[in-house]
């Protein structure tokens, strides 16, 4: 669930790049430097990439499960 929230927040369109409220307050109060902006962008992109990899893995697992379930249901229907 935590990863889902991070991905949803990562895809949201807003003027802050940071997911943490504390960081957003610091950015507004003190501003954000160019180096920090690039670093935050890279961190967010890495998080999104990691989340997409996890989603792909879950989809693969579900596809295998679905195939086994359909096979089991078809073989069960043939017996009756």
Residue 69 to residue 63: CA distance in whole angstroms: 10
Express the helix, strand and coil content of the chain in percent, nearest 5 each.
80, 0, 20
Residues near 11 by Cβ (< 8 Å), separated by ≥ 6?
48
Q: What is the pLDDT of residue 41?
A: 77
pLDDT in tens, 1-24: 666 665 566 555 555 555 566 776
5-9, 14-18, 36-40, 56-60, range with the lowest pLDDT: 14-18
| Percent residues over pLDDT 70 in the chain | 60
Residue 27 to residue 65: CA distance in whole angstroms: 46
């Amino acid at each position: 669930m935590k990863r889902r929230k991070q991905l949803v927040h990562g895809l949201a369109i807003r003027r802050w790049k940071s997911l943490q409220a504390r960081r957003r307050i610091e950015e507004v109060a003190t501003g954000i430097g160019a180096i920090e902006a690039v670093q935050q962008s890279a961190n967010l992109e890495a998080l999104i990439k990691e989340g997409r990899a996890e989603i792909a893995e879950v989809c693969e697992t579900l596809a295998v499960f679905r195939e086994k379930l359909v096979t089991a249901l078809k073989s069960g229907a043939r017996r009756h």
